[in-house]
Every structure is written in C-alpha cells, then in structure tokens.
Structure 1
C-alpha cells in the first residue's frame, strides 16, 4: 500500500535513483512488513534549479546529494515502527550508496485505507 515518491538531483549514474528505490522497498518490507509485490514508486531527477532545500535547517548540514523521500501509506503504524523505517532507509542508503545520513529527508503521509484505488475504479481496501 505504500506509494513512494523520490526526488534527487540529476545523477551521472543512470541507475542511481532506481537503486535508491530498491533500498526503500527493502526497508518497507523489513521495517513495516509491506507485502511482496506492493511496490509503487515515482522516481524523479531534477536539475539544480528545480530542487530547493535549506542546507542547514534544524542544524542538519545538507549537501547537493540530498534525497527527498515521500511515502504515502495507510494509517496505523506505531511511532516505533515509523522510526525504525526512517532509520532503516537512512542507514541502507548510507551503507549501500554512500548517501550521507544528513541528506536523507523522509516525509511519511498516512491516509485511511478507503483512500486507495489500485485500479479498475475500485477501492480495494473497502470492506
């Protein structure tokens, strides 16, 4: 049920965004028990003029390698599960792709289950 939106600066490696997406999906599976095949992502690369961020908001020193991740999921996860998800994503991006921990920006959007339609004009989670 998650929908992942990823925004990064254009990267010379054409596989970079895809590899980030794969690590996010793995983190979703391990940290909050997302089922197999529940993988929907929009991966977008931008030039410098179209990706704006504050390089020091809240005392966190961000670089041009900033990675914006927005995940829309059904509501109901505990704060602990959400924190585990954030940590798992940041650490995997850091260890696997050398993304600085300071550059991993995650926004989690929770919605009610009836707000999803996966196709056919039907709200599949409505009982």
Structure 2
C-alpha cells in the first residue's frame, strides 16, 4: 500500500495527461512493488512555476519545466525492489508520457504497519483487518 505523491508544475499537462502519469506510476507500483490490486493511494499536486526547485546534484542533468517528483511512502521493500522501481518509473513514464528521465526525481521512504490508518480512526494492520 504505497502512498504516492506526484508533484508537477501547473499548466504543463492536461487532466488526461496527469491521469496517464498517475496510471503509469500505479502500474509500476503493482508490478515492481507488488502492491495489491485496488491498493491505490496517490496525491497529485500542481505547483506554480518556480515552486519546484530541482537542481542536478552535480550530475549534469538538465531539468525542464516538465519535472516530476515522485515520493513513495511504503513498507517492506528491499534495495533491489527500490532500484527496480527507479528504472521502471523512468522507462514507463518515458514510454507513456514522453517524460525525459532527467526530469524524474524519485524518493522512497519507509514506515511500518503501525503507521497506517485507512479510515474510521482504526489501525487496520494492527487489528488484523489487513
């Protein structure tokens, strides 16, 4: 049950293009992180120009206004799965949306089963409901 935040610059993509971007990310979550079906938690945020500052960390990347920042909060994925998700996102987003891989930034963070409530003020994992 990864929680995925997708940050983009506003007015660069249509609603349909944003949905395609989100769908491509979800496909990677299902295939690479083995997320269960219907386990989709995504937040897409559009920022005014100049509100995403993404330099190249000295790697020589040229970022454009099409930059996409994907933050994935998850539990239990190992280093190999994380590396695979980085590759798969770059490939899938290029294929389906035309995103230049230099415009993709991905951050994966971990938490535990105790850190989730899916509604009703309940800790479904801890209560054995999930």
Contact kept, 8 Å, 2:21 with 2:96, in 1: the verdict is: no
Aligned pair count reads 125
Comparing both structures, which one devotes a greater share of its residues to helix? Answer: 1
User: Whole-Å Cα distance in 1 between the matches of residues 8 and 30 of structure 2?
Assistant: 22
4+ residue stretches of structure 1 with deviation over 4 A?
none
Partner of 1:44: 45
Partner of 1:24: 25
Q: Does 1:121 align with 2:125?
A: no
User: Whole-Å Cα distance in 2 between the matches of residues 88 and 53 of structure 1?
Assistant: 21
Partner of 1:96: 96
Contact kept, 8 Å, 1:86 with 1:106, in 2: the verdict is: yes
**How far did 1:84 drift?**
0.7
Q: Which string of whole-angstrom CA distances, capped at 9 and with x for unpartnered residues, describes residues 84-104 of structure 1?
A: 111111110011111001111
User: Whole-Å Cα distance in 1 between the matches of residues 17 and 48 of structure 2?
Assistant: 15
**How far did 1:19 drift?**
1.2
User: Whole-Å Cα distance in 2 between the matches of residues 117 and 12 of structure 1?
Assistant: 32
Q: Provide structure 1 residue ranges, at least 5 long, that are not aligned to the other structure.
A: none
| Residues 101/17 of structure 1: CA separation in 2 closer, same or farther (3 Å cut) | same
- C-alpha RMSD over aligned residues: 1.2
Q: Which string of whole-angstrom CA distances, capped at 9 and with x for unpartnered residues, describes residues 65-124 of structure 1?
A: 1100001111x2111111111111111001111100111100111001110000011111
